[in-house]
């Protein structure tokens, strides 16, 4: 299904006489998939929302003179799950689970419950193998022409942009993975650097393939030197110190040039950090509990994490993801040689079906009381504008029926609760929210809808600056059905809630300018996007776009507070994520105008790790960079991140040559 913008692009291409029917460049799963599934035939609100239980631990490591370590052994595996309603086919997905508890494999993954200052250590196992120990193929079409992990390149050609003489088909070899705890104050060896991936320890890895990324061995040695633990083949063990504010974090794959596909296939889960001063309410009580280890069956939860994702399916239930550039804008080639357009990669992807916690359009029975929801936008490209309404098909913009009270963002609590009629959440952002259903009659139906666009977001207002998402499909997310109250609500009304005291960062000692850029094709008659770049600025304020493997330009002094001025020279908004830190949003200002400087939006007044950089604007964020080493910053539109919109940065002296 084409969005308006895609249609316009396709028309333009066709009008230029360049539209070449898709000829196919290799294996495609279209023949066996039954073709794309029409989302309007998927019944809505027939399956309950799954509330991910707490991830069981493998054990506890007792240390002398310091806190014990919660230890997990978590694998990525392939399995089938009922994502579409039960009378429709099941879907093959990947996700995480505890290898000591085989029933815990679920998409999205079970929630890791972590405690302030008590480390979590995870042995992350790449178990993308079959029962015979042979590697599994990717579920989705991998474009091998990007700058990506590239295991077939061997140790000399891994993590590079491979050269092809002709257009190749999708990569069908073993799958590299590496896990990133998003928002974590992670030491470099535990951060999931995109070139620290590893293949499964399968018995048929083709000879000549690299089985680990460029940086795996370096971080493996570093982890051994620090912790005395050796990474076995097909695994990496990371440790999270949890020495940061209580927050809604999440974990997901971060492999170079494949993150869009590895995450779309399923692997992602919440990581909820609790405790410490920044989880201590001076008065009042938040809605709870959340799922905990050892809960009896049927336990009731009033704190619920909800991951919202867009997906498309084939009629056989399999996940659909485009296998050609032609899906995006009709450009059917030439690819290699002949043009600079990647043959399979799409500049953005918008699914036509909404999934919450691994089910399409689920419902949740709620009592007439307050709930705490931790929303995650887990979409690849889609910005969400969420609203609570009584009529899901109401003309957009719809009239809100209930407000959201936002109490936290990515890095923890806001200074004070903020009431919103609608909630804008960019990919990878989180919103910690109270919704008050108190007083609603039993049987009331509150629909959770989305008025963000079915196309790239550039800021602005639904219905004025862009068409809201299709009210029949991606314009709906889930349903809250009011059922009888089972016990009185002891939580504090959000307008009376005092949140933990907030201490802003001090003055910055350095300010740096960075840029966001889009590269267009130079193929005659076609100027579609072929990659997005980060970069710096020259003395005259012009962008200097830079690719992933250019020398490090962001080299910071350890323990300094810096302001980053993010200049967006593109036409779209990009959610920019900086690893290792939680930052404060300082201000926004138009690049070309002298004038208005806006402060942070009301929901941006706490600590964040991902910020919306609007087109044509400078977005300023401030952070304390207090861990040494090699990290990344990047756009969290996964299709952008995978095709050059990511850069390494280094904290401390002597950055490595890359």
Residues that bind Cu ion (CB under 5 A): 574, 635, 637, 640
Least distance CB 328 / Cu ion (angstroms): 15
| CA distance readout (Å), 98 to 75, 92, 112, 216, 295 | 6, 19, 11, 23, 17
Least distance CB 349 / Cu ion (angstroms): 13
Token pair for 63: 């240390």
Return the number of the residue (574 or 620) whose C-beta is nearest Cu ion: 574
Please state whether 607 falls in left (phi above 0), alpha (psi between -120 and 50) or beta. beta
| CA distance readout (Å), 139 to 73, 77, 170 | 24, 12, 11
Return the number of the residue (379 or 433) whose C-beta is nearest Cu ion: 379
Return the number of the residue (405 or 548) whose C-beta is nearest Cu ion: 548
Least distance CB 456 / Cu ion (angstroms): 9
Least distance CB 609 / Cu ion (angstroms): 16
Query: Is the peptide bond between 108 and the residue preceding it cis, with omega within 30 degrees of 0?
Result: yes
What CA–CA distance (Å, rounded) separates 214 from 252? 20
CB neighbours of 109 closer than 8 A, spacing ≥ 6? 52, 55, 74, 95, 96, 97, 251, 267, 268, 269, 270
Return the number of the residue (130 or 571) whose C-beta is nearest Cu ion: 571
Least distance CB 532 / Cu ion (angstroms): 5
Taking CB atoms, the residue at the shortest distance from Cu ion is 635
Q: What separation, in Å, do the N-terminal and C-terminal C-alpha atoms of the chain show?
A: 41
DSSP character at residue 364: E
Least distance CB 176 / Cu ion (angstroms): 22
Distance of CA 44 to the CA centre of its chain: 25
Return the number of the residue (260 or 430) whose C-beta is nearest Cu ion: 260
| CA distance readout (Å), 426 to 216, 380, 608, 634 | 30, 10, 12, 14
- Tell me how many degrees the CA angle 298-303-306 measures, rounded to the nearest 5: 95
Least distance CB 613 / Cu ion (angstroms): 8
Return the number of the residue (212 or 572) whose C-beta is nearest Cu ion: 572
Query: Is the peptide bond between 374 and the residue preceding it cis, with omega within 30 degrees of 0?
Result: no
CB neighbours of 427 closer than 8 A, spacing ≥ 6? 377, 378, 379, 380, 381, 382, 383, 575, 610, 636, 637, 638
DSSP character at residue 294: T
Least distance CB 427 / Cu ion (angstroms): 9
DSSP per-residue string spanning 192-261: --TT--B----TTPPTT--SB-TTHHHHHHHHHHHH--PPPTTEEEEEE---S--EEEEEEE--TTTHHH
Q: Dihedral angle at the C-alpha atoms of 41, 44, 46, 52, nearest 10 degrees? A: 120
Least distance CB 488 / Cu ion (angstroms): 47
Least distance CB 130 / Cu ion (angstroms): 35
Least distance CB 453 / Cu ion (angstroms): 15
**Cβ-contact 558, 651 below 8 angstroms:** yes
Count the neighbouring beta carbons within 10 Å of the beta carbon of residue 526: 19
Return the number of the residue (260 or 640) whose C-beta is nearest Cu ion: 640
| CA distance readout (Å), 252 to 194, 264, 275, 384, 565 | 12, 10, 23, 19, 27
Return the number of the residue (220 or 574) whose C-beta is nearest Cu ion: 574
Return the number of the residue (187 or 637) whose C-beta is nearest Cu ion: 637
Q: Dihedral angle at the C-alpha atoms of 343, 345, 348, 349, nearest 10 degrees? A: 100
Least distance CB 635 / Cu ion (angstroms): 3
SS3 (DSSP) at 559: coil
Helix (H) or strand (E) holding 8: helix 4-15
Least distance CB 270 / Cu ion (angstroms): 24
Return the number of the residue (457 or 650) whose C-beta is nearest Cu ion: 457
Return the number of the residue (241 or 642) whose C-beta is nearest Cu ion: 642
Return the number of the residue (189 or 609) whose C-beta is nearest Cu ion: 609
Return the number of the residue (235 or 568) whose C-beta is nearest Cu ion: 568
């Amino acid at each position: 299904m084409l969005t308006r913008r895609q249609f316009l692009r396709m028309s333009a291409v066709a009008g230029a006489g360049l539209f070449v029917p898709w000829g196919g460049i290799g294996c495609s799963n279209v023949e066996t998939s039954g073709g794309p599934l029409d989302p309007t035939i998927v019944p809505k609100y027939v399956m309950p929302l799954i509330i991910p239980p707490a991830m069981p631990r493998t054990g506890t490591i007792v240390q002398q003179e310091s806190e014990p370590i919660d230890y997990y052994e978590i694998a990525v595996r392939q399995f089938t799950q009922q994502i579409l309603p039960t009378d429709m086919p099941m879907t093959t997905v990947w996700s995480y689970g505890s290898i000591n508890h085989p029933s815990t494999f679920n998409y999205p993954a079970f929630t890791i419950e972590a405690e302030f200052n008590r480390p979590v250590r995870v042995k992350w196992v790449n178990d993308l193998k079959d029962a015979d120990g042979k590697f599994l193929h990717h579920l989705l079409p991998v474009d091998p022409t990007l700058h990506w992990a590239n295991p077939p390149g061997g140790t000399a050609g891994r993590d590079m942009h491979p050269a092809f003489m002709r257009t190749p088909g999708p990569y069908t070899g073993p799958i590299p993975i590496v896990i990133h705890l998003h928002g974590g104050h992670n030491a470099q060896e535990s951060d999931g650097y995109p070139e620290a991936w590893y293949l499964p320890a399968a018995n048929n890895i083709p000879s000549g393939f690299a089985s680990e990324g460029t940086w795996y061995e370096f971080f493996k040695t570093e982890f051994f030197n620090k912790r005395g633990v050796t990474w076995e083949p097909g695994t990496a063990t990371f440790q999270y110190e949890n020495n940061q504010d209580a927050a809604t974090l999440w974990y997901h794959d971060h492999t170079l040039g494949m993150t869009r596909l590895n995450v779309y296939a399923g692997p992602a889960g919440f990581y909820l950090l609790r405790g410490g001063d920044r989880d201590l309410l001076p008065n009042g009580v938040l809605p709870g509990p959340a799922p905990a280890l050892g809960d009896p069956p049927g336990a009731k939860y009033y704190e619920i994490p909800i991951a919202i994702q867009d997906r498309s399916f084939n009629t056989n239930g399999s996940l659909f993801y485009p296998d050609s550039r032609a899906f995006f804008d009709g450009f059917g080639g030439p690819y290699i040689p002949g043009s600079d357009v990647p043959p399979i990669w799409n500049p953005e992807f918008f699914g036509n079906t909404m999934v919450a916690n691994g089910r399409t359009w689920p419902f949740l029975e709620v009592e007439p009381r307050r709930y705490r929801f931790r929303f995650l936008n887990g979409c690849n490209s889609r910005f969400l504008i969420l609203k609570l309404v009584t009529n899901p098909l109401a003309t957009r913009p719809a009239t809100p029926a209930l407000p959201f009270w936002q109490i936290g963002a990515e890095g923890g609590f806001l200074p004070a609760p903020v009431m919103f009629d609608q909630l804008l959440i960019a990919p990878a952002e989180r919103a910690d929210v109270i919704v008050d259903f108190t007083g609603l009659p039993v049987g009331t139906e509150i629909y959770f809808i989305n008025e963000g666009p079915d196309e790239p977001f550039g800021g602005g207002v639904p219905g004025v600056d862009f068409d809201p998402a299709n009210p029949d499909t991606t314009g709906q997310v889930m349903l809250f059905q009011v059922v009888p109250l089972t016990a009185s609500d002891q939580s504090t009304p959000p307008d009376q809630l005092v949140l933990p005291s907030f201490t802003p960062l001090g003055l910055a000692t350095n300010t740096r300018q960075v840029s966001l850029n889009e590269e267009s094709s130079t193929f005659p008659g076609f100027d579609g996007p072929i990659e997005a770049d980060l970069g710096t600025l020259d003395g005259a304020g012009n962008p200097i776009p830079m690719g992933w493997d250019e020398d490090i330009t962001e080299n910071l002094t350890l323990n300094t507070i810096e302001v980053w001025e993010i200049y967006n020279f593109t036409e779209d908004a990009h959610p920019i994520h900086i690893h290792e830190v939680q930052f404060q949003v300082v201000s926004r200002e138009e690049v070309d105008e002298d004038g208005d400087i806006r402060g942070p939006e009301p929901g941006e007044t706490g600590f964040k790790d991902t910020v919306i950089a609007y087109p044509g604007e400078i977005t300023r964020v401030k952070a304390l960079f207090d861990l040494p080493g090699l990290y990344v910053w990047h756009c969290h539109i996964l299709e952008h991140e995978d095709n050059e919109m990511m850069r390494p940065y280094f904290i401390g002296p002597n950055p490595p040559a890359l």
